[in-house]
Structures are given as structure tokens and as C-alpha cells.
Amino acid sequence: DAGITQSPRYKITETGRQVTLMCHQTWSHSYMFWYRQDLGHGLRLIYYSAAADITDKGEVPDGYVVSRSKTENFPLTLESATRSQTSVYFCASSEPTRTSGYTGELFFGEGSRLTVL
């Protein structure tokens, strides 16, 4: 009963390198989300996906790429990491209902702390 898991939990990389953060959920939720959390900015949506092969931009998508070939996986890739992408990244999933709004009840992974030197 893992729920939603992220890997790696901690990552240190250098400017310009490509980094991929993995997210896997076992609930078969249709929606998946990537957020970043920074001091002074709270939680901000990077990208989200409504189903396999359907993704869309959130509030801060620049510098990130996502894909969703399978319902259970939603990797986030930083193609050329920058210091401003140092942050804690949270993956989340939900299964909206007819009355729950667009997002539905949201469940988070444990977070991935990324440091870009």
C-alpha cells in the first residue's frame, strides 16, 4: 500500500545537467500534479496531467518537461538545471468526482529535495 512515491528523495546536481524526478502512484488516480515549494512562494503548480498522454502547464512550467505514458507514472525532467530550480518538488494525485471540482481530493508524495549548484 505505497500510495504515491517519489524518487530520488534527495538530489544534488550541477547547473546545466539534466535531472529527472520520478513519481509513481498505485491508486490508479487519473490526475497527477507536480508542485514546487519555495520559501516565500508557497506551493506552485508546475505541470499536471488529466490522463495518460494528456499534460498541461501550470503556473511555473518554464524549464521543465513532463510525460505520462502510463497512468501510474508522471516523471518531471529538468532538461538543463539552473540554480533557480533548487527547490522541494512534490508530486500529487487525485481522482476528481462530478462535484469535487477540477482537482478533487489531493494526495501528496513525500517530496524530492533538489539542489542545483
Partner 1 sequence: GIQVEQSPPDLILQEGANSTLRCNFSDSVNNLQWFHQNPWGQLINLFYIPSGTKQNGRLSATTVATERYSLLYISSSQTTDSGVYFCAVEPYTDKLIFGTGTRLQVFP
Which residues in 80-99 contact partner 1 (CB under 8 A)? Answer: 88, 90, 92, 99
85 phi/psi in degrees, rounded to 5: -95, 5
26 touches partner 1 by CB under 8 A = no
Pick one of 45, 50, 52, 65: the residue that binds partner 1 (CB under 8 A). 45
Smallest gap from Cβ 38 to partner 1, in A, equals 12
In terms of C-beta density within 10 A (0-12 exposed, 13-18 middle, 19 or more buried), how is residue 72 classed?
A: middle
How many other β-carbons are positioned within 10 Å of the β-carbon of residue 25?
23
Which residues form the interface with partner 1 (CB under 8 A)?
Answer: 42-45, 48, 58-59, 88, 90, 92, 99-108, 110-111, 113
